[in-house]
Structure 1
Amino acid sequence: MLEAALSAAPLLFPAFAVLGALLGTVMFRRARRQGRPALAPVLWAAALAGEVAVTLTPTAGGASGSVNCTVGAGSWEVALGRQGLLNLALYVPLAAFGVWAFRRPLSVPAGCVVLSAATELLQTVLGTGRACDAADFVDNSTGALLGAVLATGALALAGRGPSAVRRDGVRALTAAGGGLSAVAVAVWLFVPLYDETAARAPFSDAADVLGPARRLADGLFGPGSRLETTSTVADPALSRFALAEVVTDRGRFRFEERSGSLVSVEFADPGPVGASPLSEEQLLRAGGEFAAAWFPDLASGARPVLAPGPDADGSRVLSYRRPDADGAQQPGRLDVTVSASGRVRSATAARPR
């Protein structure tokens, strides 16, 4: 998610600078060897470096999220909001500069579509702290098509229309077919698809709880966290389903036994002592990273409200309420508490469905 990617990720701008310099140098030398102007290839290299840095640079939220990808009707609300426009805008220059540089109005946007699909897959598989969302793929693909159309139109007006369109079409079909097929197979093998509107079969016994508990513990607290106790509790204010409560040596959390959805988490580690306090904007971004990764059904399409935390230590609480199609707030709520240094302390999701 691009909006989440623009949070306090300390390596984002250094990664962009390094990738931009490397790719820009490669494209500059390639253009010189071919006797072509270097401006368009260098700009395309900068756009590609920006896409990779913004979407794949690990975040500083301290959690990687569960390995899944959000699909379904609820995820498409994101495409119409500010986050959707940002994701769309990210791919417009990438496709436009690509068409300008390579004169391939069909295979360039096809490659961008494959790149977007691969990026969404890598965001969750690599544990970057980002959330894989099918709506982001649609936004990116739309931006790529728009950029390709704009660049193709500009080249046509300048009398520099593309040549070998038929060959370019074959390349586009080959790239899109092969690339998307490879991503689809990888998703089928490694990434569960999460549909927030779909019911899931309940776990059959306690042994089925341990698998999700282990995966959630590793994602929330890092590999090696030790499960100390696991029990079943009921909390109608948060969910009408039975909850599994798990205590580890690094914190505790609850999740629905029926669906495996995370309901609440508390971190035992308070974070680094004496860390410099962050601005409210940075705290919003840090909490937003965590919310997008772990509670996409409540965070997607919702704008958090920032309020003082329960303790007088500079902490803040991000409260999410999602609007429905008429603008009214839907049932359900998400509260994420972030320390003054940007460390997520706890989160609670109410899903009284």
Structure 2
Amino acid sequence: MFPVGGVGVMLLGIALSAAVLLLVHLGLRRVLGDLTSASFVVLLWSLTVIGFITLLPAQGAPGVVPADGRMETCSWDIGGPAPDGFWIFSGGQRLLNTLVFVPSGALLVLAAARWPRAAVLTVPVGLALLAAYSVGIELTQLALARLDRACDVTDIVDNVTGAALGVGLGLLLALLLRPWRRA
């Protein structure tokens, strides 16, 4: 049986990770400055939040998933059988999958923008790593049937779209906040 799950466990994990990463920020801000340190730490936290909400069973520990109920491959039905909604947003599962990656994309740019020359390479590589993270989540959902989650290529498309929108938002924020001047 998968030992943990449910919204309470997700929220507890999210809160504990925030506390740990706050301590990391306090240590890094002297070296990186407040904006860059906060951007980096909140980027890590956003990835942790994504992990908690996608890799823990939403309705508690589901127990055993029968072999005949387990998916053999990811669903390739683009725009396919996503549920109508999720308990956080009423806009639907696809909207949530997009929105959850927007902060990560924006924070990636803000964390890298302190070093503009390096950011030209760091941001595209970081965007590719966010896409790989999404693929990894979906493959984990496929491999671990006890998570009671489904592997769906549409989720990857939505996640990467959100990350790319976040990168665009991050570029605008970087132009406003100018983290390279805070070095």
Same fold (TM over 0.5): yes
By how many angstroms is 1:49 displaced?
A: 1.8
Number of the residue aligned with 2:88:
none
The CA deviation at 1:66 is 1.1
Runs of 4+ in 1 over 6 A off after TM superposition: 76-79
Question: In structure 2, what is the Cα distance between the partners aligned to 1:88 and 1:74?
Answer: 13
Alpha-carbon distance in 2 for matches of 1:19, 1:112: 19
- Indicate if the aligned counterparts of 2:102 and 2:163 stay in contact, CA closer than 8 A: yes
Match for 1:36: what amino acid? G
Asked if 1 retains the 8 angstrom alpha-carbon contact of 2:110 and 2:179, the reply is no
AA matched with 2:70: S
Please give the alpha-carbon distance, in whole angstroms, between the structure 2 residues aligned to 1:147 and 1:35. 22
Question: In the TM superposition, what are the counterparts of 1:14-53 in structure 2 within 5 Å?
Answer: 14-32=12-30, 34-37=31-34, 38-53=37-52
Indicate yes or no: 2:109 matched with 1:99. yes
1:144-163 deviation line (CA, Å, top 9, x unaligned): 000001111221244457xx
Alignment coverage as a number of residue pairs = 153
Report the RMSD for the aligned CA atoms in angstroms: 2.7
Computing the radius of gyration from Cα coordinates, the structure with the larger value is: 1
Distance 1:28 1:132, change over 3 A: farther
Gaps of 5+ in 2: 85-90, 114-118
Tell me the secondary structure at the aligned position of residue 70 of structure 2: coil
Structure 1 residues 132 and 91, CA gap change in structure 2 (3 angstroms): same
Amino acid at match of 2:124: L
Match of 1:152 among 150, 165, 171: 171
Q: Note the residue ranges of structure 1 that are not aligned, 5 or more in a row.
A: 1-6, 162-353
The residue aligned with 1:124 is 142
Q: What secondary structure does 1:132 align onto?
A: coil
- Residues of 2 paired with 1:89 and 1:73: CA distance? 18
In structure 1, what is the Cα distance between the partners aligned to 2:48 and 2:95? 19
Percent identical among aligned pairs is 29
Cα pair distance change 1:18/1:160, threshold 3 Å: closer
- Going from structure 1 to structure 2, the CA distance change for 1:20 and 1:63 (only over 3 Å counts) comes to farther
Determine the structure 2 residue equivalent to 1:137. 156
Equivalents in 1 of 2:158, 2:83: separation in Å? 9
Q: For residue 338 of structure 1, what is the aligned residue in structure 2? A: none
Distance 1:139 1:152 in 2: 20
Classify 1:137/1:52 alpha carbon distance in 2 versus 1 (closer, same or farther; 3 Å): same
Q: 1:112 & 1:94 partners in 2: Cα distance?
A: 8
Local SS of the residue matching 2:75: strand
Tell me the equivalent position of 2:75.
70
Summarize the alignment of residues 278-289 of structure 1 with structure 2, pairs less than 5 Å apart. Answer: none
C-alpha distance in 2 between matches for 1:50 and 1:57: 11
Instruction: Give per-residue Cα distances to partners, 1:323-349, cap 9 Å, x unaligned.
Output: xxxxxxxxxxxxxxxxxxxxxxxxxxx
Listed one character per residue, the Cα deviations across residues 251-280 of structure 1 (whole Å, up to 9, x for unaligned) are: xxxxxxxxxxxxxxxxxxxxxxxxxxxxxx
Counterpart of 1:54 in structure 2 is 53
- The letter of the residue matching 1:93 is P
1:63 shift after superposition = 4.6
Q: With CA pairs under 8 Å and 6+ residues apart, which has the higher RCO, 1 or 2?
A: 2
